[in-house]
Structure 1
Amino acid sequence: MTLVSSLSSAKNQKRLNHVRSQIKQLKLDVIDEFQALTDSKKVLGEWDDTVWIYKNKNLYFNKPFDQDNKKVSRNTKAKERVPLPPLFSNIIKLYVLCQIKKDKTASAISSDIIANSWLLESISYQENKLITLKQTTLDDVIPLLEKHFKKRGPFERYKEMVRFTKSFLVPNKLVLSFAPKVNMPNPAIAQNNVTSKEYKARNIDKYDAEIDKYLGIVKQRFDEDTRRIKAKKPALYPEPKKGYDELRLLAIPFLFAFGLRIGELCRLTKDCLQYDEINERWYLNVLTEKGELPTARPIPRLWQEILIESHKRILQITGEFRAFAKQVEKTGTQAFIDVLNFDDRPEHVKEALIAEGYDPDIYFLRSEIGLAGDVHSSGLARNSCRHSKHVTGVFADAEVGIIKCRNHGLAPAIQTVLSKEVIAKLAIKIYSGYSQLIYKENLINKKGTDTYSSSSFSAEVPFSEHLFIVKDEFFHGGSNSLGFIPKPMTAKAVVNWITEDTSRSKTVFKRYGIIDGEGKCVSFSSHQFRHWLTTALMRSGKNEMMIDLFMGRKAGQSRQYDHRTAKERAEAIRQKYMGDNVPDDALGRRVLRMRENNVSLDEIETALNHTLSVVHFTPWGTCNRDLDVSPCEKGMMCLRGEQGKGCQHFGIDTSDIEAKQSIINTKAHYENQLSALLPNYQNLNEKLNNKEPLDQHIQYCIDTINGCESALNAYKKSEEHEAVNINIVQIFNPGVTVNGK
């Protein structure tokens, strides 16, 4: 070993000892905070455990590959996961604790852990590689991510690694100081560019203009089968069981009319429809997701009658299940015991039970349910109460003994005795898990409560008050039982019905033989309803802000759901310039000059059609430049234009709130730059020497700021012209009707 290598080794060892000491100290600093979290039950688990429970979700501290070197997924069992080495586990746990203190969601924290485990995997969990971590180390992970993930997966995980390094590793001196950067293009940028292949692929994945037609065909064939059954003819497309298709078909109008997220649909309450006598309108009360407030959304007139009828029929189908759930809430296990009645029990069975010391009111024979595959009137299936070589029923533990008793009038045989109380205890445990599904899907929920909570609201809704309550076998196509235990309609029950996947149950489109234009069986995701409705609303000329509010989104998000063609967008924008309130931009001023010079409306419209034939979006507004023929070569030209007057091809859509926010952010960015460089830059505009590079940059910043101010003034002028405010969304107060009752 040379002297240089010896010194380098000693230096690395010293650095490694420092990192180990630093991690130990960081742990000592936060261990009391962690103990407080566990004492308050906010976090369940000990520090050295390989899994913590936070907000009803397991946080696993394991490697991204299991014992068999397979990529870990949500279905990977705990015993098959490989724990992180202690030092790296402590680092991740310290980082997780920081996220918990910020009240980050459990799902987001779990995703962060998974993403950063890939960074540790890339350095093979070697401490020497950790202390020498740098930008190239982060960038070297990209091929590994691209190998195992598709679409946005690699970018999102890589971005989290950079954030983890920048916000935790570097500040805590666990790695050498450097400025981590995201050296990977964001695929969302290409996806939002209407001229890109990625945008077209995104449209195919997220939007199908004919989902209404496909589901309409399902409804027609379902109705025809209903008529055939009434006429005592065999159904052409029989339901696996009564209500299997019908209940989900009845839920579809809520998706079409409101574009509800699937979790919002499943959480509708039985009194979700309300009539406001003052405004003479029907409203749908929605517990909105994504941090938005609950809303009472007006029902479009087109859907009013359909929704009222659907709601009425849903209540009829789910009424008995809701009533049973209410009884379980009141009496607990006794509710399950009460439905396990055997009124037609033969006397010899009672006598046989009593003779062996079993109370006939508490115990029964498995044979009383029937033969293999039979179901009791309560929904309890015989198969769920027995052991077999391959399957153990969920109520098999209710077996308490055997007796000799005649079976269906035959000679005495060995009969299995089951305990109603044991079945009830097992059922109430399963019921608790089922009922919590409705609370913890998509919204935060405290374990064991009937409360929804998000970053903006908290609402208590008893399980039995929900609209879509069924039993646990209701959507199981392979079972002839509706089930024994009340259960909510889950997102999975809807998704598996319309989305082709590897599940054993066939989608409704496969069962009804519905194919698309390419001859493939129809399949689409539940989120496509939101894309379908948003695009339909945009095509009808609705204001983007109204669409955002109606759909329960933050302002400006509708653009991500806009699947109109370039021609349709151009037409929508053209109408703005033909109206009275012309946008205050270069094209708008040109239109005003044409009007002042008495140019005919037909000539103005022809000019607009030509100018806007290739219109597309930019982050700050619209651009009517044909980028294929004449590419824009100057950055920020949209806003800068000529000394901040704006590019002649730049258009301002004053209904585009997202673009407005981008303009505000851009203005603040360049103001901060100039303030740091030259606090009095406002007074230097006329003194700049544009031949000098620094002065050129200052002029560039000033022109951009002026362009931003000019664009924001256009928004201000437009707002002054808006004299009428339309109340299209009310705030929904859970538990209170629109009339305050």
Structure 2
Amino acid sequence: NGNSAYFNSKLLEKIVQLMRDKELLAKPFQWTSPLRVKRSSTLKEQRENHEKKMPSRESIRALGELFNNDLASPLDIITTSACALLLSQPSRIGELADVERDCVVFKEGADGGQGMFLRWYAEKGYGATTKAVITGMEPAVKRVIELVIPITDEARQYAAWLEDHPDEYPPHKGVPLKGPDEPLSYDEACAALKAHGTNLKSPRSVFKTRLLDSLARHKALSPEAQVVLDEIREGWDTSNGKKIYVNGRLNHFVFNDIAVITLRKLNILMREKYLPKDFPYTSPAADGKKRVKYRDALFTVRTGSLSVGTNNTSVSKLDLGVEIACGSKRMSTQLGGTGGVQSIFERHGYKGTKVNTHAFRHELNTEMQRAGLSQLIIDAFSGRTAMGSVYNHETVEERTHRVAHYHPKTKHSNAAQRLEKVKTNKPLSLSDVRDLHEGDQDLVIHQTHVGICVHNFASEPCPKMGACLTCGKLGCVKGDDVKLANLKEERKDLKCRYDKARDAQSRDIFGASEWVKKVGMDLYKCDALIRTIENPELENGDIVWNVDNGWTLTNNAAAMAGLIDANVIEAKNEQLQSLDDLSAMLDEIEV
């Protein structure tokens, strides 16, 4: 359903890669997913994708109002501050774990002014970098630092103590005044764990339930913790205990537990249970390089300090560990509400408002597209190693409106007519754009040998290297006989190359199958354009917009260098059939 099959297939690729790296395969084996990401091509699909992935204006406005209010709840402060950072430069929610307390740096710009940057660690292989804060968001970033530091300073100090004193039990008022190897009663052990007994459960029962049983369910324990846990469990009295009566009434039970519990052993088990597996680091090492420590991370808090239950009630949790306050699960709950827990919008009266944490990244990427930045700059700013056109939700209507806004020859009634035609999914007329390519000042509309091109060459060179048939910025005009003749000449040449490739494939020549696929796709696209243009239902002057296949010269170079997966460069064109069906159709083409 949707892209689920694609994403699951990429996970299968990682499993195969892991098995190969760990030498678990009896024979050499390599598997690559044949699936591609589903792209939106029609206006309807673009609008649906826009509504699904972009944040609503209501959610942005509500977060802005909350962020600038005097919030009392640490949870609300963390939630709005995390959103402000995600809106200050395009990032992923998981990357907030590696934001340091002292993350702000200033660099001098070309104009001599000071620009604000954030020290950042981008996921998915991009690594450490400094990312510029979007103009206008500098005060918001400054306010984030001012709000978050006071409510996380104590947790950072605690994380530093835990790191510097690995063999000591963390001090608090409940820890018994005993040496590290002196025996502890279950009462004292529970006090040290901040897990006291109740009328219904004895300290011994609480100790077993809260610590021993919980650790026993862990799939992987450290060798040190496993030894201590086995020792206590092996010496545990599994009987119902000896009944002790006082004044003829049952008072309590006595058990013959052999193992001795000490602060040293309790320290090992407590850290195993309550500290993150990568402690003292917030994230696992990447390429052998350690990242940010909890003692330095901006969003470090005590474990459970921000927890809430159903109906927004506080949940009492042990705070012996540390965690990142803005984890993806917590942020998703706070921005969307789930499991009976109210979202931040619901708590403050913004009924029906919700937003996805990744929507902010889509928002900023689209705004950068609207501002005319090149895809290369946008990808670098977003911390991506592969092309991020999937994040661009600029619609055809917006692109057409942008042409009409920036070019002086479009500021007349034709601009409104053109925009109206796009909104209703009607073809554009040649007269709508005929005069845009005239004059040396034109940097938007260009004539090509097969149609018109709307690529902005002032932003970057042609990313397709002239491969117009694979480009979504190509428009073919009905009634332009010269361009139609060029298209037919192109089809004739492609058909000849396709036949030669098929012949080479039949003789098992290396690489021929890939060439058959590539030339076949181009041939099919060229023939489809010709058939569409020659459709008698279209009028002279109507424009047929091409569909992009996602390939660029930059991505091809990155794939050759091994920086990205070559199998995900080209998006699957939804108009194309399977390769077998395609071959059958191409055989019928007559030129």
Give SS of 1:462's match. Answer: coil
**Equivalent residue for 2:171, pick from 329, 339, 347:** 339
CA distance in 2: counterparts of 1:159 and 1:627, whole angstroms = 38
Matches of 1:164 and 1:487, distance apart in 2: 28
1:307 maps to a residue whose letter is V
Contact map agreement 1:543 1:655 (CA 8 A) in 2: no
CA RMSD, 1 decimal: 5.3
Residue in 1 that maps onto 2:579: none
Q: Deviations over 1:382-428 (max 9, x none)?
A: 369956599911368789999xxxxxxxxx99999964223211122
Measured in 2, the distance between the counterparts of 1:342 and 1:200 equals 58
With normalisation by structure 2, the TM-score equals: 0.56
How many Å apart are 1:331 and its aligned residue? 1.7
Letter aligned with residue 550 of structure 1 = F
SS in 2 for 1:333: coil
Alignment-derived partner of residue 275 in structure 1: 106
Q: How does 1:628-667 map to 2 (within 5 A)?
A: 645-654=448-457, 660-661=463-464, 663-664=466-467
- What residue in structure 2 maps to residue 484 of structure 1? 320
Question: Contact conserved, 2:155 with 2:302, CA < 8 A, in 1?
Answer: yes
1:499 to 300, 316, 336: 336
1:193-342 aligned at under 5 Å gives the runs: 193-196=41-44, 198-210=45-57, 211-219=59-67, 223=70, 226=72, 239=73, 243-276=74-107, 280-334=114-168, 337-341=169-173
Cα distance in 2 between the residues matched to 1:159 and 1:338: 43
Partner of 1:425: 268
Name the amino acid aligned to 2:345. Answer: F
Is the 8 Å Cα contact of residues 379 and 481 (structure 1) preserved in structure 2? no
Match of 2:513 in 1: none
Residue 194 (structure 2) pairs with residue 380 (structure 1)? yes
* Deviation of the 1:273 alpha carbon: 1.2
Task: Note the C-alpha offset of 1:673.
Answer: 8.2
- Structure 2: any 5+ residue segments left out of the alignment? 21-26, 214-228, 242-250, 310-314, 431-446, 472-489, 502-518, 530-591
How far residue 319 of structure 1 moved from its aligned partner, in angstroms, is 1.4
Shift of 1:438: 6.4
Counterpart position of 2:209: 392
Is contact 2:275-2:322 (8 Å) kept? no
1:511 corresponding residue in structure 2 = 347
Mapped partners of 2:84, 2:99: distance in 1:
13
The alignment's TM-score, normalised by the length of structure 1, stands at 0.46
1:109-147 superposed Cα distances (whole Å, 9 cap, x missing partner): xxxxxxxxxxxxxxxxxxxxxxxxxxxxxxxxxxxxxxx
- After TM superposition, the structure 1 = structure 2 runs for residues 675-686 of structure 1, keeping only pairs within 5 Å, are none
Q: Displacement, 1:313?
A: 3.1
Structure 1: distance between partners of 2:369 and 2:355: 21
- In the superposition, relative to structure 1, how do residues 663 and 605 fare at CA in structure 2: closer, same or farther (>3 Å)? farther
For 1:201, what is the secondary structure of its paired residue?
Answer: helix
- Name the counterpart of 1:188: 38
* Cα deviation, residue 484, structure 1: 1.0
**Paired residue for 1:546?**
377
CA distance in 1, matches of 2:151, 2:56: 31
Identity of aligned residues (%): 16
Residues 666, 280 of structure 1: alpha-carbon distance in 2 compared, 3 angstrom cutoff: same
Structure 2: distance between partners of 1:181 and 1:323? 47
CA distance in 1, matches of 2:280, 2:403: 45
Q: Deviations over 1:659-681 (max 9, x none)?
A: 823854968999998668679xx
Q: 1:573 aligns with which of 388, 403, 423?
A: 403
- Give me the whole-angstrom Cα distance separating, in 1, the residues matched to 2:159 and 2:395: 48
SS at match of 1:467: coil
1:163/1:319 Cα in 2 relative to 1: closer, same or farther (>3 Å)?
closer
Deviations 1:169-200 (A, max 9, x none): xxx999xxxxx997x9x6723x2x2413x433
- Inter-partner Cα distance in structure 2 for 1:259 and 1:250: 15
Q: Secondary structure at the match of 1:287?
A: strand
Query: 2:4: which partner in 1?
Result: 153
Segments of 5+ residues of structure 1 without an aligned counterpart are 1-149, 175-179, 227-238, 351-357, 371-375, 403-411, 446-450, 516-520, 579-600, 617-623, 631-643, 680-696, 708-741
Deviation at 1:332, TM superposition (A): 0.4
1:55: which partner in 2?
A: none
Q: Deviations over 1:10-32 (max 9, x none)?
A: xxxxxxxxxxxxxxxxxxxxxxx
Q: Distance in 2 between matches of 1:181 and 1:298?
A: 36
**CA pair 325-673 structure 1, distance change in 2 beyond 3 A:** farther
Over residues 502-529 of structure 1, what are the superposed CA-to-partner deviations in whole Å (9 max), with x where a residue is unaligned?
x3533222333322xxxxx322221011
CA contact 1:287–1:294 (8 Å) conserved in 2:
yes
**Does structure 1 retain, via aligned residues, the 8 Å contact 2:162–2:170?**
no
On the 8 A contact 2:182/2:262 being kept in 1, the answer is yes
Higher relative CO (CA 8 A, sep ≥ 6), structure 1 or 2? Answer: 2
Aligned AA for 2:455?
Answer: I
In 2, distance between residues paired with 1:647 and 1:615? 22
Describe the shift of the 1:298–1:645 C-alpha distance in structure 2 as closer, same or farther (beyond 3 A): closer
Say which SS state the counterpart of residue 295 (structure 2) adopts: helix
Which residue identity lines up with residue 61 of structure 2 in the other structure?
K
Report the CA distance between 1:285 and its aligned residue. 1.1
> What is the deviation of 1:261?
0.3
Change (3 A) 1:659 1:513: farther
Could you say which residue in structure 1 is the equivalent of 2:581?
none
